[in-house]
Amino acid sequence: MPGRLLSSLARVAPSSSKIDSLHAQDPPLFPPHYSREPPSNPQSRSQESLVMDKLKRHSLGSRHHSDKKSPKVEPQKAATMNMQVESPPIVFYNAPQASSGALFSGQLKFDVKEPHLTMDTFEMRMLAVVTTKKPVAPHCPECASHTTEIHKWDILKGSVSLRHGVHSFPFSHLIPGHLPATSHGAIASLDYYLSAVAISSTGEKFTYKRNIDIKRAIFPGNEKHSIRIFPPTNLTAAVTLPPVIHPIGDFPLEMRLSGIVTNKSDSQTRWRLRKLNWRIEETQKSVSPACPKHSQKVGGEGKGVLHEDVHVIGSEEVKSGWKTDFEAGNIDVEFRAACNMALKPTCDMESPNGMESKHNLVIEMVVAEEWAPLRKLSQATPTGAARVLRTQFHLVVTERAGLGISWDEEQPPMYEDVPASPPTYVADIVDYNMDQLDTEVADMAL
C-alpha cells in the first residue's frame, strides 16, 4: 500500500534522516518537470492482441481457480509496468558542494491488458535506502534499513481511464549533486531506487521497482606536494601524489628523502633505506539509527550508534628502485601503488546521515645508520641503529571522469529557470587537500 510506504517514510524522516531535512530545506531546483503527454496511440495494438490478452487472462485465471495445487500460476494482471531509461548513466561531477547534479529521464510504460482500466492513483518515487549491517536491534528490519524519499512524481492525478494498449509516461528529474553516491561498504550500504505504484479503481495494485546507480567523479586537479619531517632525525620526505586515484588502475608516487647525511669534524653518519612499504587504508563510518520501537536502546529518538571500520585495500613492499646519493644527501624513489580490487575498495563519500568512506596512504620506511670516516667514505660500517619512519597522506578515491561532461556544460539550458550557479549546499566543507600531519618515528634495532 502506498499509504504504508508514506507512513514509514514519515516516521523515519524526523528522527534520523538528515538527507531528508536537507532536501526539504532546499528550494526545488525546478518546478516539477513532468510533461503529461496524451497516452501514446492505444490503437497501435491490434484488436487481435486485445482478444489474445483477454483469453490469456481468462485461461490463466480459471486454471488458477481449478487447480489449487499450483498456486504459483497467478492470474495475469490487468496491466504490467516497465521502464525505459533514456538518460546516460548517472554521474555527479565534482565534490558534493560543487556538483550541478545529473539529469535523469525516461519513459514509464504502462501496458493495459483490459479494454479499459480506471486508475485511481499512479505515483513514482525516487528513494534512498540506507542499510546497516550493524542494526541497533539485531534482526529488526526497521532498525536495519531506512528509506528517504528524494523525489516524487504524480504520474496521474485523480481518476483516469486508460484504454487497452501501452501508455508511455515520460518523466525527468535533475538529481541534486549534493546527494551521496551509491555505496556498498563493509558496515553500511546506500542504494537508490525508483518505485512506481499504481492502484486501479477496483483496488488492483501494480508495482515496479528499479535500482539506479549514482556515481561521483571528482575531476583531477593539480598534483599534490607534501613534505613530512621526522624529528628527532634530520630526515625530510617530499612526496608527490596524484590529486585523485581510482578503484581500478595504479598511480605513480615520487618521494625524495633528504637530510640523510650528517657530517662531523672527521666522520660522517648517514641513513640507508633498508625497507619501504605502502598501504592504502579505507576508513568507513556509519551511524546506525534506531527505529521508534528500539530508540530507548540508544537513549532516545534521533540518536544512533557510530560504527567505524578501518581496513587495508591495497599494500605492497617496494623491493628496489631507489637511488641513494650520499654526496647530495638524498634518496629518490619512484613507485606505483594501487587499490586491490579483491579487497572491494569504495569511493570517497560522505552522507549527512553519518555514513562516509575516506582513504589514507600510509608509507613506512626502515632506515639504518652507518658511520664512515670522512677520509674513507667508501668504508662505511652499520652502527646497528635503525628507525622506522611512518607517515600518511589523504587520498581521494573516485570514479574516473572519463569524457564526462556535466549536464549544465553539455547543452544549452532546456528549462526556463536554470539556476545561474550550481545548487548551493550548506554543510561542513570537506577539505580534500588536507593532509594528515602526523608522522611517526620509532627506534628499532636491526
Footprint of Zn ion on this chain (CB under 5 A)?
A: 137, 140, 142-143, 291, 293-294
Nearer to Zn ion, 96 or 135 (CB): 135
Q: Are 189 and 130 in contact (CB under 8 A)?
A: yes
Q: Which three cell numbers stand for residue 235?
A: 630526515
Q: Are 286 and 292 in contact (CB under 8 A)?
A: no
Nearer to Zn ion, 126 or 143 (CB): 143
CB 315 to Zn ion: min, Å: 38
Q: Which three cell numbers stand for residue 376?
A: 674513507
CB 136 to Zn ion: min, Å: 6
The CA-CA-CA angle for residues 360, 363, 366, to 5°, reads 160
CB 348 to Zn ion: min, Å: 30
Calpha distance 124→212 (Å, rounded): 14
Three-state DSSP at 358 gives strand
Q: Which residues pair with 405 in a beta bridge?
A: none
Nearer to Zn ion, 124 or 290 (CB): 290
CB 168 to Zn ion: min, Å: 41
Calpha distance 194→26 (Å, rounded): 21
Calpha distance 360→365 (Å, rounded): 16
Nearer to Zn ion, 144 or 318 (CB): 144
Nearer to Zn ion, 165 or 304 (CB): 304
CB 11 to Zn ion: min, Å: 11
Cβ partners under 8 Å of residue 235, min gap 6? 229, 257, 258, 259, 260, 271, 367, 389
Nearer to Zn ion, 33 or 294 (CB): 294
CB 141 to Zn ion: min, Å: 8
